[in-house]
């Protein structure tokens, strides 16, 4: 058998690497993974929307010497099947390059270790495509100084020089983001990093605390379980040492409205409570996938207070479908534990529905309401105005048949145009801002009731009023 060595076309390959599927915030998070793995305590991100758009990330981690930097710039520098340190957030040895290539055509990495001087190496995608070869630029001191002066990042290089060790990553020739949208992407980035790295930012779960700043503004970690009630977990058979599961039921608005309404808004996150329910998967303390039920159960408003924390180690990637970007729809629990998770979810969502502020059974002594919920002949449900309300009966006696016919058309129109979708949206996404109870003017109510009593209402009619929405026994105390 003859073997033909068929090398991949470099120019076509690098173009493919640019389309793996990184969004801006996911790409930056992938680079921060490297900084945290390198034991960084401070990570500074600079994004400039000038004519020469630039993104820079500086850390104070252990850094690299010249040989280590060369290896780090190699694509697929790590064997994904090789056992890694427990706190290693990397996977394929592709993240730095593919995350950068997805948004820019020039990647420069400048680094030094505690025992080496600064080294600088650069990938220029235009040159790689033109020469059809993986030619890595090695910058000398003069070339590095010229680059830094051109990009107005001398303060970052000075900071790196004054550190014992660290790494500076520069993106130039950014062509996947429009200048006018960079700051919009920065807003999304801040929210993303705040959630994904909240354990590191807040020093939770034994993580070494990391300070992350964007354009000199420090990011506060967003803990999606803050203030929640931890629930007893259902054990996953044969997986207790590898997979840790901690269910949470979030505090209801009723519990926090009076004392801290801003906290309730914060815990809702950018997506709102309904869109924040579900599983939160952590890999080596880094959030990988969140706010999803993985099709184990459907998303329902009644489960909006339930969030379930899952921790796995970094040697389980292939079982959970974790890819290069460490995000996306491919992430899902292995079939062997889906049944156990479903049993757990059914129990926890039941508790969540019984939580104060969740969907619960309402005890209401009112016999006659303003609205009824009925089912028609086609078994379709709808809200209709209750035509048996005593106030409507009294109104019928006061107006002409023609006027009452107009009133009935008006009431039917109210039913037909009830803004159910708007009500649902506000109830789910802004429950703290929705206050439907409108206090009727006391003088108006007193005048109304005095007029009704003056008509000589019998005791049975008065009893009907007392048992109807909008009225109570105290209003008729003088009857």
**Whole-number Cα distances in Å, 451 to 14, 101, 140, 476:** 84, 78, 95, 12
- Over the stretch 159-207, which tens digit does the pLDDT of each residue have? 999 999 999 999 999 998 876 688 899 999 999 999 999 999 999 999 9
Distance CA(172)–CA(104), nearest Å, equals 6
| Sequence ranges of the domains in the chain | 10-218, 229-354, 371-476
Helix runs in 277-334, H state only? 317-320
pTM of structure: 0.74
Low-confidence ranges of the chain (pLDDT < 70): 51, 77-93, 179-180, 237-241, 253-259, 328-329, 355-366, 427-433, 436-441, 478-479
Q: How confident is the model at residue 176, as a pLDDT? A: 86
Contacts of 465 (CB under 8 A, 6+ apart): 390, 391, 452, 457, 471, 475, 476
Q: How confident is the model at residue 377, as a pLDDT? A: 72
Distance CA(121)–CA(110), nearest Å, equals 7
The DSSP letter of residue 333 is -
- Strands 54-59 and 42-48 come out as antiparallel
Is the domain defined by 10-218 classed in CATH 3.30.565.10?
yes
Q: How confident is the model at residue 450, as a pLDDT? A: 80
Spell 70-103 as b/e; 16+ CB within 10 A means b: eebbebebbeeeeebeeebbbbbbbbbbbbbbbb
Q: How confident is the model at residue 314, as a pLDDT? A: 86
- Over the stretch 403-412, which tens digit does the pLDDT of each residue have? 888 988 888 8
The token pair at 226 is 């803050």
């Amino acid at each position: 058998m003859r073997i033909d060595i068929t090398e991949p076309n470099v120019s076509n390959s690098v173009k493919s690497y640019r389309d793996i599927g990184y969004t801006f915030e996911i790409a930056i998070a992938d680079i921060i993974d490297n900084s945290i793995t390198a034991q960084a305590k401070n990570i500074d991100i600079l994004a400039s929307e000038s004519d020469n758009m630039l993104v820079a990330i500086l850390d104070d981690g252990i850094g690299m010497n010249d040989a280590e930097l060369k290896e780090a710039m190699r694509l697929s520098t790590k064997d994904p099947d090789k056992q890694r340190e427990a706190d290693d957030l990397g996977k394929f040895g592709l993240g730095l390059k593919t995350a950068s290539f997805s948004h820019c055509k020039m990647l420069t990495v400048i680094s030094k270790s505690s025992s080496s001087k600064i080294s600088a190496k650069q990938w220029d995608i235009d040159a790689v495509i033109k020469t059809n070869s993986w030619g890595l630029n090695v910058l000398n001191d003069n070339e590095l100084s010229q680059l830094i002066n051109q990009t107005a990042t001398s303060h970052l290089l000075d900071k790196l020089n004054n550190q014992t060790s660290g790494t500076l990553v520069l993106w130039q020739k950014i062509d996947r983001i429009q200048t006018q949208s960079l700051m919009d992407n920065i807003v999304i980035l801040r929210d993303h990093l705040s959630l994904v790295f909240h354990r590191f930012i807040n020093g939770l779960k034994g993580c070494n605390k990391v300070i992350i700043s964007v354009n000199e503004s420090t990011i506060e970690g967003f803990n999606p379980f803050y203030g929640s009630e931890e629930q007893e977990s259902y054990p996953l058979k044969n997986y207790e040492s590898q997979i840790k599961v901690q269910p949470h039921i979030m505090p209801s608005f009723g519990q926090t409205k009076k004392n801290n309404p801003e906290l309730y808004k914060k815990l809702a996150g950018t997506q709102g409570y309904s869109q924040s329910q579900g599983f939160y998967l952590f890999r080596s303390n880094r959030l990988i996938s969140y706010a999803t039920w993985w099709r184990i159960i459907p998303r329902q408003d009644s489960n909006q207070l339930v969030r379930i924390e899952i921790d796995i180690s970094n040697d389980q990637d292939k079982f959970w479908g974790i890819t290069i970007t460490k995000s996306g729809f491919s992430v899902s629990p292995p079939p062997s534990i889906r049944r156990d998770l479903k049993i757990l979810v059914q129990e926890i969502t039941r508790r969540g529905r019984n939580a104060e502020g969740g969907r619960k059974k309402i005890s209401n002594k009112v016999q006659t309401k303003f609205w009824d919920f009925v089912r028609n002949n086609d078994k379709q449900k709808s809200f209709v105005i209750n035509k048996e309300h005593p106030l409507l009966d009294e109104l019928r006696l006061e107006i002409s048949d023609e006027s009452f016919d107009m009133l009935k058309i008006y009431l039917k129109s109210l039913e037909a145009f009830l803004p159910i979708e708007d009500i649902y949206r506000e109830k789910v996404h802004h429950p703290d801002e929705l206050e439907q109870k409108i206090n009727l003017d006391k003088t108006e109510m007193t005048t109304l009731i005095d007029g009704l009593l003056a008509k000589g209402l019998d005791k049975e009619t008065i009893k009907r009023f007392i048992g109807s929405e909008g009225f109570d026994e105290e209003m008729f105390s003088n009857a």
